[in-house]
Structure 1
Amino acid sequence: MMSHGYGMGIGWFLIIVAFALPALLLAAGLLVAQFQRGARSEPGATTPPEREAERVLAERLARGEIGAEEFEQRVRALRAAWR
């Protein structure tokens, strides 16, 4: 790859591109993923407390900590309290 004593010629350029291109592609992929994640949940947006409470109850139901009847009773109680 020597070109008459003038160093590597285009070889240095190819080495730099070989290292820089994957790093740039990785950075671009991370930026796109971060942008998509941010688009799904707006910064500063919070879940209303009543939705959060219902979500916790749904998780407890899914884990089997409470039964379906108890879940329905608690959801009704929550909705009545928030009115």
Structure 2
Amino acid sequence: MMYWGHDGIGGWGFIVMILNMALFWGLLIGAGILVYRAVQGGGGASEAESARRLIGERFARGEIDDEEYRRRLETLRHGAR
């Protein structure tokens, strides 16, 4: 029995193949981005948060006073833009 026109993948098979290829490349590129960020040490937002935490620790230990603490936080806010 002959099935004319059905000797290869059908229309849905082609669509599924394209979606799988897009998913594969998306995952591969996403993994590459994550590895790059891990090697580079993260993004800029974590650096600003780390600086705020350090200033808070210095204030808690009494190394800087209230005025210095507020001035440095304000500097961070304006410098982060």
TM over 0.5: no
Computing the radius of gyration over CA atoms, which structure comes out larger, 1 or 2?
1
Q: When the two structures are superposed, what TM-score results if normalisation uses the length of structure 1?
A: 0.41
TM-score (norm 2): 0.42
